Amino acid sequence: MSQSVDRAAAILDACAPGPQRLTHLAELLGVHRSTVLRLLQTLERHRLVRRLDDLTWTIGYGLIGLAVETLDRMDLRTAARPRLERLGQEIGHTIHLAQLDGHDIVYVDKVEGRGAVRMASRIGAPVQVHTAGVAKAILAGLPPDRCEAVLASATFERFTDSTITGRAEFAAELAKVRKQGYAVDDGEYESYLACVAVPVRDGGGAIRAGVSITALCAIERLEKLRRHLPRLWTVASEISQELGWTGPAGVGRSAG
């Protein structure tokens, strides 16, 4: 049973980015096509996948509905959404919200600002912890053991000339975040993007999430993007207060 569940989960992961052919799924799982077909038919009965006219398979409407319902019930996303939308409209850039989920940091919401270019980040997808501003904002405020648990899966893969690829260098970066109260991504994953990010706290004062502003460098480079930090700190404080935080306003500035 566990093997079938693992295979079904692998199928859903493979189909999430886009439609997949039966032969590709069979190769991915290393099993015969008939085995994959039986799994697909079971998932289809539960509306978790669906077959398209070109005989490829994609995510089903049932799974999409479950995801939307779950996201809508999340206290964090519910508290943050109207504030993220307002911030995106005000400054015209893309706003991301990422949450600490066990040993992972995942995007839980994204708002495209006025005229903002669509970005590859996807709700529900994990962030690159060694490059993303939201990840740095979260990690800098975690207890050392929790931070190490999240970093255990970090690849420190180089994506651009600005990417931090060593643990010692990354530790120095987190120390800088703690001191200044905010994090940045200076073209570290995609050279043409820059971002500033601050943490969000829960009712107990623990870092629960991070919120960021991301812009095309051609429109607003990092040096200029920092001018939005006061507004970003205010939004993070408002979200934190909705989650029960009663500490000082400007929650990002107390990250250290």
Domain with CATH 1.10.10.10 in the chain: 2-66
Phi, psi of 139 (to 5 degrees): -60, -35
State how far the Cα of 232 lies from the Cα of 201, in Å rounded to an integer: 14
**If we measure between CA atoms, which residue out of 64, 35, 34 comes closest to residue 49?**
64
pLDDT of residue 249: 53
Q: How confident is the model at residue 114 (pLDDT cuts 50, 70, 90)?
A: low
Q: Which CATH architecture does the domain made up of 2-66 adopt?
A: Orthogonal Bundle (1.10)
More confident residue, 151 or 123: 151
Q: How confident is the model at residue 125 (pLDDT cuts 50, 70, 90)?
A: confident
| Token pair of 162 as six digits | 């600005």
Q: Which CATH architecture does the domain made up of 74-254 adopt?
A: 2-Layer Sandwich (3.30)
Which residue reads 């089903």 in tokens? 60
DSSP states of 15-33: HSSS-B-HHHHHHHHTS-H
User: 49-96: per-residue pLDDT in tens?
Assistant: 999 999 999 999 888 777 766 655 557 888 899 999 999 999 999 999
Beta-strand pair 94-101/57-59:
unpaired
User: 193-218: per-residue pLDDT in tens?
Assistant: 999 999 999 888 889 899 999 999 99
Contact 170, 150 (CB under 8 A): no
